[in-house]
Amino acid sequence: MTTTTPTITPATTPGGPLTKPLGRPFGKTGLTSRGFANAVVLIAALYALLPALWLLFASTKNADALFGSDIFSLGDFSLARNLSDLFAMDGGLYGEWYLNSLLYAVVGALVGSLISVSAGYAFDKYEFRHKEKLFGLVLTGVMVPQTVLALPLYLVASEIGIVNTFWAVFIPVLFNPFGVYLARLLSSGYVPNEVLEASRVDGAGELQTYIRVSLRMLGPGFVTVFLFQLTAIWNNFFLPMVMLSDQHLYPLSLGLYTWNSSATVSPEYYPLVVIGSLLAVVPLIVAFITLQRYWKSGLTAGSVK
């Protein structure tokens, strides 16, 4: 008995046999390789971290070393003296600015987030006249830069007599169109309609259902909106500059700006501005580290159905 070996004929195309080898799999060559991707990530990380490292080292230098070329050296360590001078300068104004920023940002973000989450929940779960038109106005507010609204807000505050007061800065930051938009998306992802129907069947009113059921389910979404609003209020600069003239009401952003402007005449302000800027980022870092497990889940709400 004889056996025959099967022959494999090359694939052919209208132009002849296909002899060109297949390319390498995706992700192995050129700009799609893992090494290139890692290099891009490394460059981006260095771009973000180098200014932070400079701020960290510069905050330990005195005025002479700050203008030298040895910022990253371990000599001329003056951190304790810089801290002492920071809180003693101008009668302790920096401490007042810090407390003002905490009050504006933390309390404002808590109240503003509650308003945003409530409004977003209402847009998601209830039907009312001109609902989508009103939500379109919210989206329009998202696209309007805050600096454009500073002058109209100043004129309104001037009419009601609250210019150069705490309320002139606090009230406008309570209303955040982006927070309302985000809260509506989070509400659709976190709060099933079936749960609300079950609560109504059990005899709970709408407000009771919202407080006892919906708001608890919206916890991660609330934290997400809170962190966005906290960051925006903490970094708010233009509105306080327009509204306030009393230095005792300044937030950190505006206070450090005034010191930096004075440093051209009085160079002793430069080290204070540097170390003051370093301390100014501490609350944001603490907030993100403390609440990261909530806002990570909040950002992915609704991504999987």
10: pLDDT strictly greater than 90:
no
Q: What percent of the chain has pLDDT over 90?
A: 44
Interval 29-58 mean pLDDT: 82
Per-residue pLDDT tens over the stretch 286-303: 998 888 777 655 544 544
303, 96 in Cβ contact below 8 A? no
Residue 69: per-residue pLDDT = 60
Task: Indicate whether 99 pLDDT > 50.
Answer: yes
Whether the pLDDT of residue 28 is over 70: the answer is no
Q: In sequence order, what DSSP letters do the residues of the chain get, joined into one string?
A: ----PPP-PPPEETTEE--SPPPPPTTSSGGGSHHHHHHHHHHHHHHHHHHHHHHHHHTTS-HHHHTSS-TTSS-S--HHHHHHHHHHGGGTHHHHHHHHHHIIIIIHHHHHHHHHHHHHHHHHH---TTHHHHHHHHHHHHHS-HHHHHHHHHHHHHHHT-TTSHHHHHTGGG--HHHHHHHHHHHHHH--HHHHHHHHHTT--HHHHIIIIIHHHTHHHHHHHHHHHHHHHHT--HHHHHH---GGG--HHHHHHHHHHHTTT-TTHHHHHHHHHHHHTHHHHHHHHHHHHHHHHHHTTTS--
**Nearest C-alpha neighbor of 301 from the set 202, 189, 139:** 189
The pLDDT value recorded for residue 30 is: 53
Domains, the chain, ordered by start: 92-267 (1.10.3720.10)
pLDDT at residue 17 above 80?
no
Q: Confidence band (pLDDT; 50, 70, 90) for 29? A: low
DSSP string, 188-211: HHH--HHHHHHHHHTT--HHHHII
Higher pLDDT among residues 114 and 60, named by residue: 114
Given this model, what pLDDT does residue 237 score? 92
Encode pLDDT of 221-265 as tens digits: 899 899 999 999 999 999 999 999 999 999 999 999 999 998 888
Out of 5-14, 84-93, 145-154, 235-244, least confident range: 5-14
154-209 pLDDT, tens per residue?
999 999 999 999 999 999 999 999 999 999 998 988 888 888 888 888 888 888 88
Cα 57 from chain centroid (whole Å): 25
The residue among 91, 65, 67, 69 whose CA lies nearest residue 79 is 65
Q: What is the mean pLDDT of the chain?
A: 83
